Amino acid sequence: MTRSSSNDRLSWPDYFPSDVPPDEAQPAGGEAFRLVSAIPPTKDDFKSTYEENRKRKHQEFWKACGSSLYTDLEGAMVTRERYKHLRETKKIAVGRLTPDMGMMLSTPNPITNAHLTVWFRLNALPHLAFTAAQSEEI
């Protein structure tokens, strides 16, 4: 999956700069965890960091064009427990990413290696592939 063709370029949101997703990104794949507002999740639950608050300026805009996911349940659980808004409003969903959804890159935090940035294509429907993680009650 490359980003070289103009057709491919059109498959990404129009606010993506030309170098996003970055060259190091790989086709999306594997099991991933995301904090969502409800089970089953909606497409809105997979909004990019930029879409989530378009007014905010981002130091790393390339990363803000993507969404945060985790490669393990623990990463998602620790993050949800750490912040009030997430504790009170989010559930943990698990799903399998597929190459047609977009591109991904391991973007570890200094405190966890499980953080992943996923750049979803315009027509991607990741929410259909996600369901409640083991720890969640539906």
Structure tokens at 82: 């750490």
- 92 sits near another protein (criterion: CB under 8 A): no
Residues 112, 78: contact at Cβ < 8 Å? yes
Q: Does 58 bind another protein (CB under 8 A)?
A: yes
Please give the full DSSP string across the chain, using - where no structure is assigned: --S-SHHHHHTS-TTS-TT-S-TT-EE--EEEEEEESSSS--GGGG--HHHHTTTS--SSHHHHTSEEEESSHHHHHHHHHHSHHHHHH-EEEEEEE-GGGEEEEE--BTTBS-EEEEEE-TT--GGGGEEE-TT---
Q: Is 18 near another protein (CB under 8 A)?
A: no
Q: Which is nearer to another protein, 20 or 28 (CB)?
A: 20
Per-residue tokens: 90: 């989010």
Q: Which stretch binds another protein (CB under 8 A): 8-16, 36-44, 79-87, 121-129?
A: 79-87
| From candidates 2, 84, 123, 138, binder to another protein by CB under 8 A | 84
| Among 115, 131, 135, 136, contact with another protein (rule: CB under 8 A) | 115
Q: For another protein, give the closer residue by CB, 14 or 85.
A: 85
Under 8 Å between Cβ of 103 and 119: yes
Pick one of 110, 123, 134, 137: the residue that binds another protein (CB under 8 A): 110
Among positions 11, 49, 98, 135, the unique one binding another protein when judged by CB under 8 A:
49
Rule CB under 8 A: which residues touch another protein? 19, 22, 24, 35, 49, 52-53, 55-60, 62-64, 67-68, 79, 81-86, 105-113, 115
